[in-house]
Amino acid sequence: MHHVIIASLMILAVLPAGGKAQNSSRDPQRAILVTGASTGIGRKITEQLAADGYFVYAGARKEADLQSLGAIKNVQALRLDVTKPADIDAAVATIVKGGHGLYGLVNNAGVVTVAPLIDTKPEEFDLVMMVNVYGPYRMTKAFAPLIVAQQGRIINIGSISGILNETEAGAYQMSKHAMETFTDTLAQELAPSGVRVSIVEPGSYKSEIFKNEVNRSGTGAQEAKDWEKLKEPDEVAAAVKLALSDPKSKRRYMVVPDQGEAEETIKTQVAQLVQLNEGQPYTYDRKTLIKMLDDALVGARPRSQ
């Protein structure tokens, strides 16, 4: 733990003298960087944060998307591909020069590939990991000094696929399972610096992630049609806003459009608990497990409206 505290102090030491106080006094408007902001969840997060008065740096790759994002009040579009270190370095330079500092990072950019795991093409598997896992790692590493300076927030956009396991999307699910550990580890390591880390875990909401998969590799056509009919991700954006603003933000925000997805996700967690507990030398009986659950529920938040 001592090395975590020392590392945090070293990060602060490399910032310009008085950087934190200067940002807060000169520019009280908090700045948030959202990756993958061109469509779907990222676009909705960008629009809602900007409407609430945040200054949003919106990352996208295509010129048309950059133009569209830049037309939104309180938004500055950034050309940003999270797989390209040069783009990330340029984004850091732009944000430092902008003078707002950076209070929050929303790691939203993501891709999916549709195929049984053993049939997934290596290049597709690599792309999913580069965008969904390496991307958040590189972004967080690059922007940590700015976020630490403001004792800000890091929000990772995961998925209930990081808990569930289904066929035909193994690479994507592996990446989202990885984001669960990424979030927990970051939260522990950055806590001494005052930074809070959360993961928002959406269920099935309207998105172009499968449409992009069709355009890239030709698979996922049916999924693309199905996802176009889903509910708009306003609830996901609302969860991100809460994670950014709540003084005692949660570690995990599951956001699903219906009770069925909530039940499936929670039941999967319970089934995993049973599997871990059964048939090992220190197996706990039902009474003890229920007591553990009751103890864990102490202080749990009430049902949201």
Per residue in 190-243, pLDDT (tens digit) is: 999 999 999 999 999 988 877 777 677 777 778 777 777 889 999 999 999 999
Residue 14: predicted pLDDT: 40
Q: Please state, for a pLDDT cut of 90, what percent of the chain lies above it.
A: 79
Q: Please state, for a pLDDT cut of 70, what percent of the chain lies above it.
A: 90
Residue 7 has pLDDT above 70, yes or no: no
Residue with more model confidence, 23 or 183: 183
| pTM for the full predicted model | 0.88
Residue 56 has pLDDT above 90, yes or no: yes
Q: Assess whether 172 carries a catalytic annotation.
A: yes
Question: What residue segments make up the domains of the chain, in order of their start?
Answer: 2-257, 267-300
Residue 218: how many other CB atoms lie within 10 Å: 9
- pLDDT by residue (tens digit) across 65-84? 999 999 999 999 999 999 99
Question: Choosing from 57, 172, 205, 253, which is the catalytic residue?
Answer: 172
Q: HSE of 57 in the Cβ direction (CA atoms, 13 Å)?
A: 28
Query: Inter-axis angle of helices 135-149 and 19-26, to 10 degrees?
Result: 80
- pLDDT by residue (tens digit) across 126-169? 999 999 999 999 999 999 999 999 999 999 999 999 999 888 89
All residues at 6 or more sequence positions from 228 whose CB lies less than 8 Å from its CB, including other chains: 206, 211
Residue 99 has pLDDT above 90, yes or no: yes
- Tell me which of 3.40.30.10, 3.40.50.720, 3.30.1330.90, 3.40.50.300 is the CATH number of domain 2-257: 3.40.50.720
